[in-house]
Every structure is written in structure tokens, then in C-alpha cells.
Amino acid sequence: MYSRTWTKKSTKDCSKELERLQKALREADAVVVGAGAGLSAAAGFSYSGARFEAYFSDFAAKYGFHDMYMGGFYPYETPEEYWAYWSRYIFINRYMDAPKPVYDELLQLVSGKDYFVITTNVDHCFQKAGFDKKRLFYTQGDYGLFQCSEPCCQETFDNETVVREMVGCQKNMKIPTELVPVCPHCGRPMTMNLRCDDTFVQDEGWRKAAERYEKFLRTRKDQRIIFLELGVGYNTPVIIKYPFWRMTERNPKAVYASINLGEAITMQEIETQSVLLDMDIGEALRQLTR
């Protein structure tokens, strides 16, 4: 299906598309939200610019980074410096609240409905906004969890206390050596529970969420279901975008809706079932919840 024609609608008339989506939401039996990086960006989680400068100007000066991603890839010489960087990164992107209430507006939109969320975001914004944890599958991990780097066990460890300590105690871009996190079982270095390679730990919570998501889709496959895709790009389209297209194609009662500034597309086969909103997600949600 990936070689089929993609189509993009005219961006002139978002109000008609908003009305179509509003109607579809009213009539829907179930809503599946698929969220990517664009949703957190709309919530103000910018990884560059003022937000980067405010927290990483010392790293920027020393290494010449321009955004948080670049800093995240740098091979720091010592674990003390590595964790000075990453503890700040985790703290501001996982433990601080999003600057704009976009997730709250989304919750308002789906509350009272039969919904489920699948997300590639690892910033915990859904949980912080109060989404039902049993209706949430965060496929790529969570900045708020550590795992063994080996890994010697299929376990994850909450990192809030130690991350706050690392942020508070660091000096000259280094954390104290005694705060460098190690696996309680084998003593190897800890790492973030993020899907980067095949060492990603899928703990009990992850596996249960995956099962719930699969069950939700299976038990509602013939219903009037909306696949509401928010800010999903092309880094990992096989997790949300392509499955949403495929499931929409299989169910004539399904609606595929994409809200994505500059990247709202669908494939030709489901064009009539598609609502495409080429606009800011926050603005779209405000209008939809009005």
C-alpha cells in the first residue's frame, strides 16, 4: 500500500473540514487517537530556540549544539557529563508541564467517548493531562523510566527522584559520581527506556498496554470509528499512520482524520473517508471543543 498515490486536500477551507470532523465525532462509536511529535510541539515542547537556550546555553557554548536532539546524540566523555545533559533534558521534557493546554483540550474532546490513544511520544503528556492510563499505549517508551543498558532484566525503574537530584546537584556540567545510575541487579549503567534499538525493555506495563490496544481495535473493527491522527510525521509511519490508513480502508464506516500543519495527507483509496486539516493542532482542538 505504501506505493499508492498520496493525496493532499486544498488548505483553503479548513472550516468545512472542521465541521465534517465535528459531525464525525458526534456520530462516532469510538475514537482512536494516534499522536506523534507534532502534538507535543503544538503544546509548546520546542527542542530548539528560546527553550533550548534557557536550559542548555552552557552545552551550546562548549559543543556548538543548536537544539536538544543534537545534544542528545553527542558522545560525552564521562557519565557525569552525559547525565548532566540528560537529567536536564528529562526534567524539562518529562517532569515540567507543557507550556500550552493542548493535551487538556484533547482530553476534553474525547472525554465521555469510547477512546483509546496510541502515541510515539515519550514525554508523558497524556498521563499528566489526566487521560485514563488503561486507554493509553505509549509504544516507544518513557523518558521517566530507566532500564538496564544490557538489559539483564525486563524491568523499568521510575527515575523522577534521581533525575531531580541530578539537576539540583550538578556543577560545571557534571553530576556527582555517586548519582550516576546503575542497574540494581547487575551494576551496569542504566539508560533511558526508549526504543532506539533491540535493547528496548518492554516491561509488564508496556505489554499490557499493547494487549489493550489490540483488543480495543479488534472489538470495534466494524463500528463507526474515527482514527484521529495528530502531528504524526514520517519517522515511524508504520506505527500509527499506515495502520490507520489500512484500518480505515477495511471499514467503510470508519473516518480517518489528520490534523497536521503542512503534512496532512491521506491515500487515494480512502479520500472520501478522510478529513484533512492542515492547521495548528492547538487551534483545531480549540475550535472543535468550542
User: What single-letter amino acid sits at 227?
Assistant: F
Q: CB 237 → Zn ion: shortest distance, Å?
A: 33
199: contact with Zn ion by CB under 5 A: no
201: contact with Zn ion by CB under 5 A: no
Nearer to Zn ion, 110 or 148 (CB): 148
Number of other CB atoms surrounding residue 26 within 10 Å: 8
What CA–CA distance (Å, rounded) separates 107 from 33?
11
Q: CB 201 → Zn ion: shortest distance, Å?
A: 10
User: What single-letter amino acid sits at 133?
Assistant: K
3-class DSSP assignment, residue 86: helix
What CA–CA distance (Å, rounded) separates 19 from 32?
19
Residue of 133, 152, 208, 271 interacting with Zn ion (CB under 5 A):
152
Q: CB 200 → Zn ion: shortest distance, Å?
A: 14
186: contact with Zn ion by CB under 5 A: yes
183: contact with Zn ion by CB under 5 A: yes
What CA–CA distance (Å, rounded) separates 24 from 192?
39
Stretch that binds Zn ion, among 138-146, 183-191, 227-235, 261-269 (CB under 5 A): 183-191
Question: Which H helix or E strand runs over 50?
Answer: helix 49-63
Whole-angstrom Cα Rg for the chain: 20
Residue of 185, 207, 215, 250 interacting with Zn ion (CB under 5 A):
185
Q: Which residues bind Zn ion (CB under 5 A)?
A: 148, 152, 183, 185-186, 188
